[in-house]
Amino acid sequence: MKKKDKEKAGEKTNVMRVLDSKKVSYESHAYSADPSLSGSEIAGILNEDVNKVFKTLVTVSKSGNNYVFVVPVDSELNLKKAAASVSEKAISMIKQKELLPLTGYVHGGCSPIGMKKALKTVMHETARDYDTVFVSAGKVGYQIELSPEDLKNVTGLKYADIVD
């Protein structure tokens, strides 16, 4: 880890403060904040399996409800499966400009933890295959590692098959 990244590792994000307040065990990881990095490149920087590193996607349904889907970084969200998992007929990704006002997070730093408003969250079922998983810590250049069960307890998420 570069010196600057070591300094960053001591910083607390809102996600970390939420986890601390709930006494949830996690490990934080910091890396050079480059918004052009893909999820698989971030997994490489973390020296982790791409199937353990998850991205957070925010959607809107035809009925106007917002939902959060958490999927492995190398996977694509299957919109039909995702819609079915939340009992909606159809969903689509929200516009990038809507992300910050809705969640409090920017693109590349969106976390399922600590959003402005609690949204129904679904995580791909493979997360249960791991002792720990990685999700954004709420800021570009930061990831947290925690157990999928702790993530479920904090967010109220459910598991489903939501990828292609």
Domain positions in the chain are: 3-160
Cα radius of gyration (the chain):
15
Of the candidates 115, 117, 128, the residue with the CA atom closest to the CA atom of residue 161: 128
pLDDT value at 60 more than 50: yes
Q: Which stretches of 1-111 are assigned E, i.e. beta strand?
A: 27-30, 54-61, 66-72, 91-93
Q: Which stretches of the chain are assigned E, i.e. beta strand?
A: 27-30, 54-61, 66-72, 91-93, 120-124, 133-136, 142-146, 158-160
Dist CA 3 CA 9 (whole Å):
10
**Rounded to 5 degrees, what are φ and ψ at 38?**
-85, 165
pLDDT value at 40 more than 50: yes
Question: Phi/psi class of residue 64: alpha, beta or left (left: φ > 0; alpha: ψ in -120 to 50)?
Answer: left
Dist CA 74 CA 89 (whole Å):
25
Dist CA 51 CA 114 (whole Å):
23
Pick the CATH number of 3-160 from 3.10.180.10, 3.90.960.10, 3.40.228.10, 3.30.2350.10: 3.90.960.10
Q: Which of 24-33, 87-96, 140-149 has the lowest mean pLDDT?
A: 24-33
State the burial class of residue 79 (Cβ atoms within 10 Å of its Cβ: 0-12, 13-18, 19+).
middle
Q: What tens digit of pLDDT does each residue of 101-153 get?
A: 999 999 999 999 999 999 999 999 999 999 999 999 999 999 999 999 999 99
Which residue intervals of the chain are DSSP H helices?
A: 3-9, 14-21, 39-46, 79-85, 96-103, 148-155
Average pLDDT, the chain: 92
